[in-house]
Amino acid sequence: MKMASGKVVGGQVVLDGELPEGASVTVLAPDDDETFEASPELEQMLLVAIAQCERGETIPLDQVLKDLRSTE
């Protein structure tokens, strides 16, 4: 599985990266007023993760995907 982000420009999705020609894709777009509720435990986990990102403590996506594949 590959992942890419992008924006809608002129009614078309323009990716920040590249996917192979003919790749099937799924587009998820949140509504402007869409919200979700999180349990106190999940909220705490998200706040910790956000703080880690702000400190630059991140892992490249390629490494995350490689790690996930190795556990299958």
Residues 17 and 62: their CA atoms lie apart, in Å, by 13
Predicted confidence (pLDDT) per residue in 10-63, tens digit: 998 888 888 888 888 888 777 878 787 889 999 999 899 899 989 989 888 888
Q: How far apart, in whole angstroms, are the C-alpha atoms of residue 23 and residue 3?
A: 11
Whole-model pTM: value is 0.43
| pLDDT category of residue 1 using cuts at 50, 70 and 90 | low
Residue 14, strand partner residues: 7
